């Protein structure tokens, strides 16, 4: 924002003292209420305003604190934002970033826990990114802001508590490039958003069973770096995609399909996808724990994939690999 006065930030509770889990803290004081401001609870209208700002030459960052209610702005995003550049023959740019939060814990329940990124992967004209590390969070956000097309920036609440090295200097994590986060030879684990954290936990559990898992963070879901994933599966012969959403018609299904299309007739592979249980998300902690994949269940599924049969193996939980928890509503 200091570099480009056209960048503005707005959305529900952007100027709240909790500052969207600290991500907007101090920005009103630094850049003023004309560039950083809260909005009414009207997703459709505010998204339409953001699109108008982008068409007029600004670079808006619109914060939706819960992806569940991004559904109220689907017409604006799908029929206007995603299509304007094409409909005007490439003569207009629409540099809009939509920050949208997803996540588990704290009893989020049926209407505050959904991860619907796969809906937006389906639509040409939209980019979708789901960073899982502090380094990628900064680099992807800068890349999204500088992109001339609309970008859905997916943030998992638990990842706001992650710590890691982040350079002070400006840098971009370019669209369409995945990252191998652990090298292995026996099975490929692809973890989307927060499930990247759980896949890395699973990788360490699998080491105890003598299985070397290669872990990949796709980072950008659209455009998707299928080449990096395919190269890994060509080596391991096994692919387990762990999505932070329901498996049916999800990102995991798309990744598996594209890998099989590239390797069929060239390499025999075993594939599986994991995600939310095929029910509405429960609120009680005991049931919520069964709803989401975790490091242990991922490791168990990967173990069976390597064995080729259901073994029933499940690692013993270690405190060092226990999950972190979301501590507040915003």
From first to last of the 330 residues of the chain, give the pLDDT tens digit: 999 999 999 999 888 888 888 888 999 999 999 999 999 999 999 999 999 999 999 999 999 989 999 999 999 999 999 999 999 999 999 999 999 999 876 778 888 889 999 999 999 999 999 999 999 999 999 999 999 999 999 999 999 888 999 999 999 999 999 999 999 999 999 999 999 999 999 999 999 999 999 999 999 999 999 999 999 999 999 999 999 999 999 999 999 999 999 999 999 999 999 999 999 999 988 898 899 999 999 999 999 999 999 999 999 887 655 555 444 444
CA distances from 205 to 6, 37, 126, 194, 265 (A): 47, 45, 36, 17, 32
Last residue of a domain, one of 161, 187, 215: 161
Q: What pLDDT is attached to residue 289?
A: 87
Both 33 and 155 in a single domain?
yes
Parent domain of 61? 7-161
What SS3 state is found at 180?
A: strand
pLDDT tens sequence across 61-119? 999 989 999 999 999 999 999 999 999 999 999 999 999 999 876 778 888 889 999 99
For residue 207, tell me if it sits in a domain. Answer: yes
Q: What pLDDT is attached to residue 243?
A: 97
CA distances from 130 to 66, 133, 159, 262, 311 (A): 14, 10, 11, 24, 33
pLDDT tens sequence across 119-153? 999 999 999 999 999 999 999 999 999 999 999 99
- Residue 180: which of 135, 220, 216, 233 has the closest Cα? 216
290 sits in which H/E element: helix 285-291
pTM greater than 0.75 (yes/no): yes
Q: What is the DSSP string of 224-255?
A: T-HHHHHHHHHHHSEEEEE-SS-STTSHHHHH
Both 22 and 117 in a single domain?
yes
For residue 173, tell me if it sits in a domain. Answer: no
| CATH number, domain with residue 151 | 3.40.50.970
Largest Cα–Cα distance of the chain, in whole Å?
60
Tell me the H-state helices in 4-155. Answer: 19-22, 27-31, 43-55, 74, 84-87, 117-121, 134-146
Both 29 and 144 in a single domain?
yes
- Residue 20: which of 7, 39, 5, 6 has the closest Cα? 39
Both 20 and 116 in a single domain?
yes
Both 14 and 88 in a single domain?
yes
For residue 222, tell me if it sits in a domain. Answer: yes
Q: How many CA atoms lie within 13 A of 252 on its CB side?
A: 24
The strand order across the sheet containing 187-191 reads 179-182, 213-217, 187-191, 238-242, 270-274
The total of structural domains in the chain comes to: 2
Both 13 and 144 in a single domain?
yes
Report d(CA 240, CA 237) in Å as an integer: 10
Q: What pLDDT is attached to residue 330?
A: 41
Rg, the chain, Cα only: 20
Neighbours of 92 (CB within 10 A): 13
Active site amino acids: 43, 112
Find out whether 64 and 98 touch, Cβ atoms under 8 Å. yes
| CATH number, domain with residue 275 | 3.40.50.920
Q: What pLDDT is attached to residue 105?
A: 66
- Residue 180: which of 236, 128, 222 has the closest Cα? 236
Q: What pLDDT is attached to residue 321?
A: 54
């Amino acid at each position: 924002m200091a570099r480009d006065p056209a960048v503005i930030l707005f959305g529900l509770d952007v100027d709240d003292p909790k500052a969207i889990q600290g991500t907007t803290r101090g920005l009103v004081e630094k850049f003023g209420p004309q560039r950083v401001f809260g909005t009414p609870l009207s997703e459709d209208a505010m998204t339409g305003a953001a699109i108008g700002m982008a068409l007029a030459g600004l670079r808006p960052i619109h914060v939706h604190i819960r992806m569940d209610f991004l559904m109220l702005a689907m017409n604006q995003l799908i029929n206007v934002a995603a299509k304007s550049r094409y409909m005007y023959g490439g003569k207009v740019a629409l540099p809009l970033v939509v920050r949208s939060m997803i996540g588990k814990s704290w009893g989020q329940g049926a209407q505050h826990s959904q991860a619907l990124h796969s809906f937006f992967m389906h639509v040409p004209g939209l980019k979708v990114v789901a960073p899982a590390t502090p380094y990628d969070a900064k680099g992807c956000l800068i890349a999204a802001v500088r992109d001339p097309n609309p970008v859905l920036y997916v943030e998992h609440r638990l990842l706001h508590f992650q710590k890691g090295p982040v350079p002070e200097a400006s840098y971009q994590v370019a669209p369409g490039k995945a990252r191998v986060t652990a090298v292995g030879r026996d099975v490929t684990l692809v973890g989307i958003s927060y499930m990247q954290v759980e896949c890395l936990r699973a990788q360490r559990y699998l080491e105890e069973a003598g299985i070397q898992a290669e872990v990949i963070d796709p980072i950008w879901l659209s455009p998707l770096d299928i080449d990096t994933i395919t190269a890994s599966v060509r080596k391991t012969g096994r692919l387990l995609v762990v999505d932070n959403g329901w498996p049916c018609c999800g990102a995991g299904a798309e990744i598996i399909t594209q890998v099989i299309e590239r390797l069929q007739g060239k390499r025999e592979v075993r594939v599986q996808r994991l995600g939310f249980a095929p029910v509405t998300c429960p609120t009680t902690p005991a049931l919520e724990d069964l709803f989401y994949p975790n490091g242990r269940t991922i490791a168990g599924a990967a173990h069976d994939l390597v064995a080729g049969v259901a073994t029933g193996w499940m690692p013993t939980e270690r405190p060092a690999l226990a999950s972190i928890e979301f501590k507040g509503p915003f």
